[in-house]
Structure 1
Amino acid sequence: MKKQNEIKWFKPLFAMIFVLGVGAVVLVFSSEPEKNDSGAKEESIANIISSGSKETDVQKNILDSLNTLKMAYDEAILEKTALSKELELERKNVENLMAIIKASNNPSTEQIRIYRNQLSDLNTSLENRVQEIKKLKSQNKSLLTEIESQNVVMYKQKAENDTLISKQKTLESTLKDASKLYLSNFKVVALREKSSGAELETTKAKNTKKLKASFTLNGNAVAKPGKRVFYVQVLDQKNTVMGDNKLIEFGNDKALVYSFIVSTDFQGKSLNAYGILNADQFKKGTYFVNYFDKQEIMGSTSITLE
């Protein structure tokens, strides 16, 4: 009877232990997914934080590259070439992109890709500009060399021209001097008239009717032949021009008042020429006679009447 009672008590105890064991197992297995879900969430958050940090580093790297690019543009602009204005515009594009990147907060992958593409385009553009600047420098250097060569040629040509001009002027001066006419044998006499009409020399003022001024035109084979005109100027005691008393201008701000003209037909050989000054009355005193070839005085003489 006692043994039966023990068996009856053991069965309920075993059942309760079994139920408690099953519950513990269920509890363990039910809490395991929660742990897994929690770990997954933590890992996802870490990945997001890591991803944001990675994109920030990329953003900083792009800004550093753009800053380096901007300094490269600054140096290129200092070259002061024909491309300076274009370089300034492109530098402005770099600065604008830097401002956009700095203003963006946690840019997306697509934005980062766009930034990188723009950075690449700006780098390529700068490289092209640098090549153009090198080409311009090379062309300028060649042009300067060509200009210097031309300057040397022009300097030599100018020196040769100056030499030729100097020789030409010397030759012209030599020819001018060689072809210049010279007068000599200057003489002036007072003439009186006899009742027969003959003219005789006199020294008496009261008897003088005219003054005859003569000269010799020296021969010159180099001088151009043809009609030559000489001007004779007779001055009385008061330094007054006698005779025609006419003014002639020679076009170089020079002029002459003359008494009469002597015309000759020069053919390269020496010839004697003269001119006559008529007056109603000649006073006592000395008369001065000057001979001119245009405005240049060729000689002079004088006569004194008693």
Structure 2
Amino acid sequence: MIVNPQEFNYRVTIGVLVVVIAVFTAYGLTSYSTLKSDKDFLVQEKRNLHNELSEILNRFDALNSENLILKSQLDSTIYKVGVTSNAIEKLEVKAAFNSKLQKQLTFLKEQKRSLEEREDSLIRVSQKIEEEKQEVIQELTFEKENALREKQALKTKIDKASYISANSFTAKAFKVKNSNEAIQTFKAKDTEQIELSFVIAQNTIAPKGTKYLYVQIIDPDNNVVADKGAISFGDESLIYSHKESVDYSNSALDLHLTIQNDKAFKTGNYYINVFENNRKLGGTQIKLE
């Protein structure tokens, strides 16, 4: 077989070119696929980073502290988040600049981590401030309630101290002669009246003026002697045997009251109580034979 050298060389050259073209085509396809994959990855990274920064920004907005120093730090950090977010938005994903873009995204990720750490720090500070605020509120509430209790206790003491008081209660039974001379007796059948003596004590802070006193004498059958009816004090009522009004001027006052009975006295114990309005001042008792 006769082979033409020129034709053979031509065929070899064509074969080599075919192989070279095939290799470059395969490499080109591989490079394109790689670049497209890298580009898609970077686009997704950019989107994720932007979304994460938006979430951080929302969380910072939610903090909204009343503390001026903390608020200043929050405003500064929010500004940095906005700047970083805008920088991400302006990045262009181009195959020719993938390496540069990758570096920029890496830097911005580091910025994001720094912002997250700052967020955690600010949250802790905000929580601490809120806890301290609540502690102060609780302390102030406790102190206020304690002060109110002390004020009320003091008012109660002052009110009690401003009341008149009485002491030295004594009671005696008397028989009245035709000459109106009263003679002390211990016998029920001879008794016509009871004389009650006591002292209203000195009290410089008690209000001056007329004081209304009520004497109540209870006989052995638990009935009120010389019943003058009942007087009401709000929801309370008092059945009394004698009413006396006295002019009180803060000085000690000796009182001697006579209570007469139009009925015969019975044998037994008689309990005598003295009230200023509906407040009991004291009392005593007497036994008649």
Q: TM-score, normalised by structure 2?
A: 0.59
Q: When the two structures are aligned, how many residues end up with a matched partner?
A: 248
Does 2:124 correspond to 1:144?
A: no
In the TM superposition, what are the counterparts of 1:25-64 in structure 2 within 5 Å? 25-28=5-8, 30-32=10-12, 34-51=14-31, 54-55=34-35, 58=38
- Alpha-carbon distance change, 61 to 245 in structure 1, aligned in 2, over 3 angstroms: same
- Alpha-carbon distance change, 111 to 55 in structure 1, aligned in 2, over 3 angstroms: closer
User: Which amino acid counterpart does residue 30 of structure 2 have in structure 1?
Assistant: S
- Alpha-carbon distance change, 121 to 271 in structure 1, aligned in 2, over 3 angstroms: same
Q: Given that residues 231 and 293 in structure 1 are in contact (C-alpha distance below 8 angstroms), is that contact kept between their aligned partners in structure 2?
A: yes
Could you tell me how far 1:179 is from its partner in structure 2? 4.0
Aligned to 2:263: 281
Aligned to 1:223: 206
The partner residue of 1:258 within 240, 253, 259 is 240
Could you tell me how far 1:216 is from its partner in structure 2? 1.9
User: Which amino acid counterpart does residue 245 of structure 2 have in structure 1?
Assistant: S
Cα distance between partner residues in 1 of 2:257 and 2:207:
23
The partner residue of 2:170 within 187, 193, 197 is 187
Work out the percentage of aligned pairs sharing the same amino acid.
Answer: 21
Aligned to 2:224: 241
Could you tell me how far 1:42 is from its partner in structure 2? 2.1
User: Which amino acid counterpart does residue 25 of structure 2 have in structure 1?
Assistant: I
Q: Which has the larger radius of gyration?
A: 1
Q: Given that residues 60 and 119 in structure 2 are in contact (C-alpha distance below 8 angstroms), is that contact kept between their aligned partners in structure 1?
A: no
Could you tell me how far 1:228 is from its partner in structure 2? 1.6
Stretches of structure 2 lacking an aligned partner (at least 5 in a row): 63-92
Once the two structures are superposed, residues 110-140 of structure 1 have per-residue CA deviations (whole angstroms, 9 ceiling, x without a partner) of 79999x98xx889959955962772474265
- Alpha-carbon distance change, 271 to 165 in structure 1, aligned in 2, over 3 angstroms: same
Q: Given that residues 206 and 281 in structure 1 are in contact (C-alpha distance below 8 angstroms), is that contact kept between their aligned partners in structure 2?
A: no
- Report the more deviating stretch, 43-52 or 130-139: 130-139
Q: Given that residues 211 and 276 in structure 1 are in contact (C-alpha distance below 8 angstroms), is that contact kept between their aligned partners in structure 2?
A: yes
Could you tell me how far 1:266 is from its partner in structure 2? 0.7
Cα distance between partner residues in 2 of 1:146 and 1:121:
36
Secondary structure of 2:4 counterpart: helix
- Alpha-carbon distance change, 45 to 129 in structure 1, aligned in 2, over 3 angstroms: closer
Could you tell me how far 1:188 is from its partner in structure 2? 2.9
Output the aligned Cα RMSD: 5.1
The partner residue of 1:269 within 225, 231, 251 is 251
Q: Given that residues 210 and 277 in structure 1 are in contact (C-alpha distance below 8 angstroms), is that contact kept between their aligned partners in structure 2?
A: yes
